[in-house]
Amino acid sequence: LCGDWKKQVPFLFSLLFLQVIKCKAAVLWEANKPFSIEVVEVAPPKEHEVRIQIVATGICRSDDHVVSGALVMPFPIILGHEAAGVVESVGQGVTSVKPGDKVIPLFVPQCGECKSCLSTKGNLCSKTDLGSRAGLMPDGTTRFTCKGKAVYHFLGTSTFTEYTVVPESAVAKINPAAPLEKVCLIGCGFSTGYGAALQTAKVEPGSTCAIFGLGGVGLSVVMGCKVAGASRIIAVDINKDKFAKAKQLGATDCINPRDFQKPIQEVLTEMTGQGVDYSFEVIGRTDTMTAALACCHSNYGVSVIVGVPPAAQNITFDPMLLFTGRSWKGSVFGGWKSKDAVPKLVADYMKKTFVLDPLITHTLPWTKINEGFDLLRTGK
């Protein structure tokens, strides 16, 4: 023992009890196969790491992109990145959370040291696994094993398991009174859509908006546009079953592209005169990305890509769409600096600034995860 040994004793004492945890997890062994419920070993947290007991996790389209092969990741892997839980144990040097704290894992971490974290303009921390597709902890190893094989992490979170390990920079302590089965949505879907409107686009009062895609993230964009004071919010989807909920959350118009003989961007331009002030693509298709850009006002319209782009696909578009003044932007996690913003968003939820219940369509035991993905794929 060195330095102030009295401060080190509690941590050293806790090390005696940090052991490998055996628990159940939904492991994806290969693409285009169902999840397999397996017993996995979850190693103790290392320095500046946190082990979390997952209480509730949402299913996101990004997870399904890995299943389908549209988002290439190494296998076997434990997916999931939208969750809430309770800290089970912490590694040496962890100061922001302690065992027993209610937390939300962050697939976009906030290290507080890289250029993006230090800038007021960005939020995509350089320590994110998004884009690198390494599937490993920062030290290049994994904390999961199953049947003697190493199992990869997903986006630094891996929440389709009873226990997971994340870097300290990828976890946010939240209000202990918050219902975890609801605020788990703040870990991805809600924050991503809500922030795309408020943080990335900075929608203004009285403006017109178009949202392509009315899944959980698209509906959250609708909510963000309403809070921002948009006067007209046009929801676009080929699934008419989504329209009632979209209107409940603030959409003023709902249209189905299949009801028209002309491109949807022309329909939206005619509906609004010269195009919308803000558009949001929340699907992840290149054709709808270009349509969302084209439906914006030709001079000052802003279009935001929120849906995860498909792998190995490029966009071809008329550069005149941008030359005349339109802006094309991307938004990751709604532009929020995660560790700072998530506790505040949870606090706002507790103050009833926004609702989350309408975004929850089904609640299932997580062992029925394959049924959950079937519901996602069928638009339910």
Residues belonging to the active site: 60, 62, 65, 81, 188
Tokens at 161, concatenated:
């398991």
308 phi-psi bin (left φ>0, alpha ψ -120 to 50, beta other): beta
Cα within 13 Å of Cα(112), Cβ side: 7
145-181 burial by CB neighbour count: b if 16+ within 10 A, else e?
ebeeeebbbbbbbbbbbbbbbbbbbbbbbbeeebbbe
Single out the residue of 107, 39, 31, 94 nearest to residue 64, CA to CA: 31
CA distance 173 to 353: 20
First to last CA, the chain: 57
Phi first, then psi: give them for residue 222, nearest 5 degrees: -55, -45
C-alpha 353: how far from chain center = 20
CA distance 252 to 351: 25
CA distance 180 to 161: 15
Are 45 and 120 in contact by the 8 Å Cβ rule? The answer is: no
Cis amide bond preceding 76, omega within 30: yes
Q: What H or E segment, with its residue span, contains residue 55?
A: strand 49-57
Angle at 95 between CA 88 and CA 48, to 5 degrees: 70
Q: In what order do the strands lie in the sheet with 302-305?
A: 253-255, 232-236, 208-212, 278-281, 302-305, 327-330
Single out the residue of 368, 184, 201 nearest to residue 282, CA to CA: 201
Single out the residue of 213, 261, 201, 265 nearest to residue 379, CA to CA: 213
Single out the residue of 219, 251, 229, 200 nearest to residue 355, CA to CA: 219
